[in-house]
A and B are shown apart, each in its own frame.
Chain A
């Protein structure tokens, strides 16, 4: 949907322009110079696809396919859609210079928001063809709905007078979303059959992990895969710990810094091989450990120190460490062993609980996939109903 020149208010135009510049800067930075011809040709295909008019009932709509472009190009969809809009402005005077920013955000924003998670899902998880098709269909539908929502919002924000028009525009996008879902999913299925590498690019091409700062907001689900974790436990005299990425890869050479609650830094060093680190337990109630693996990968954890277990000579009243095993070994009843084990296992138990909590959280990906499944199922049901209806009403035409 293009919004013409002279309609939107200045604040809307300015904020659209600002967001578009940020998106463009980000999209261009991530665009490999070697991919420019390919991206440009897909831009041209996207431009041409918008000239295809698909009949719907007595009327027809032209395809937009911003979701498909988002799935195929990822972040590069932003400069690609911008380019297509510039071409349209120069060639047909659809939209102009002042609305370029807003229109780019309206079309490219949802394309990336919904296309990128699907793309990441495909690249990282290599799901079955059916999942790919369903997810692509969902990306197609939701990109259009998102575009309609943004177009309506920018009109409504420009003045009270436009709220009626905004509502109409939103309504007009609903059938388009249905058609785009069907077209996007079937095209993706066709591409997957004909040229899978177009959708499943070789590894290393997409350095998904780098530059996750912006996308983390959009695709929290997959950002999780490269989140840095630090896990520490109290083992008597030493605090030991490990640094690892959320997928389990240990990180050696990460900078570790530990501080007491009062801010005194008690340890500073790097993690050794297998991401392990250790330092003497400080004399405070808890210690905050910050691990930094560079490139914005940071993690921190706070470890409660159990003071009663530690040998603190000044206090004296607890056991001397060297004598625990020897002198009291005979005094250890099974229940005492259990108590000690419980105490020692407590942090592990807590960490397990934390992991379980994280696993339980519904991720964006799941939401998208779920919505996609619903829309796909609804579409299928409608199609079958329509087909039965048609069979009932129209006699089979003699085609042969």
Chain B
């Protein structure tokens, strides 16, 4: 399972305050989603690219993740030109691909990639634990943060159990096919996986009670935002404001 591949690093973004990074990523996503014009969308993609450069992410992993995300976008790009009416770009028998459809697909591709790049640069450069920590400082309900924290903490433990089960299946010559036997095997596998999760959760809870857990985590360390963090937040904010301004008050339209 690919995990926190981007979290190790020493760039400016790796060292930045995760609380501010979460807020910046949220602001970026919501502004970009609301963009409808081509110009601002390209600018936002450029912004995201700059962030990725600042974060100095591993290019191979970056491309790998972008490819996965773009599968859905690719499907949309295949379908949209044919389902949106408009100026005909290409005709295949009774079907016509429209310029408007192609534009729509391009706009979605740009926006989606911009957001994904920005999220990788801003969110994936923190460990999941520090994100959980930051969430509790951002006043996310403590139960939700705990759920997130425990799910992440034990994901790998459970994954190991899961791999063991898969290895046991492979050792017995199991080869998945389209038949009920395969489905039954998988269903039992899932049942055992959930059972292990349930038991482990019970044990974790008892162990925590033994250690005097009272239902909430004490936050002993607090994040401190440096002047660099504020500078980063202000520049991202200003760039987003500029993009929004170009969207709503286009300088070249008058």
Contact = CB atoms under 8 A, between A and B. Distances in A.
B32 to A, nearest CB: 7
Listed residue (A6, A72, A160) with the most chain B CB atoms within 10 angstroms of its CB = A6
B176 A54 contact: yes
B154 A161 contact: no
A164 B79 CA distance: 8
B194 A93 contact: no
A60 B182 CA distance: 12
Given A28-B144, A183-B186, A7 B76 contact: yes
A381 interface: no
A383 B179 CA distance: 8
A31 to B, nearest CB: 6
B188 interface: yes
A4 B183 contact: no
A31 B143 contact: yes
B137 to A, nearest CB: 16
Interface residues of A, number: 79
A159 B79 CA distance: 14
A390 B179 contact: yes
Interface string A64-100: 0100100010000001101110110111111011100
Per DSSP, chain B at the interface is: helix
A390 B181 CA distance: 13
Given A7-B76, A48-B159, A92-B68, A37 B187 contact: no
B158 A45 contact: yes
Given A2-B72, A168-B79, A40 B150 contact: yes
B112 to A, nearest CB: 4
Given A40-B151, A96-B115, A187 B190 contact: yes
B104 interface: yes
A106 to B, nearest CB: 14
Given A49-B190, A87-B152, A96-B29, A55 B182 contact: yes
Contacts of A41: 150-151, 154, 158, 197-198, 200-201, 204
Interface string B55-97: 0000000000100110011011001101110000000000000
Interface in B107-151: 107-112, 114-116, 119-120, 123-124, 128, 131, 141, 143-144, 146-151
A36 B115 contact: no
Nearest to B162: A48
Interface of B: 1-4, 25-26, 29-30, 32-34, 65, 68-69, 72-73, 75-76, 79-80, 82-84, 101, 104, 107-112, 114-116, 119-120, 123-124, 128, 131, 141, 143-144, 146-155, 158-159, 162, 176-180, 182-184, 186-202, 204-205, 208, 215
Interface of A: 2, 4-7, 10, 13, 24, 28, 31, 33-34, 36-45, 47-49, 51-57, 60, 63, 65, 68, 72, 79-80, 82-84, 86-87, 89-94, 96-98, 159-165, 168, 179, 182-191, 194-195, 198, 383, 386-387, 390
6 contacts: A4-B73, A13-B33, A39-B147, A40-B151, A44-B152, A198-B194
Given A38-B198, A165-B83, A182-B183, 17 more contacts: A13-B33, A33-B143, A34-B205, A38-B197, A42-B194, A42-B201, A55-B182, A57-B178, A68-B194, A83-B148, A90-B131, A96-B116, A183-B187, A187-B194, A189-B191, A191-B191, A195-B198
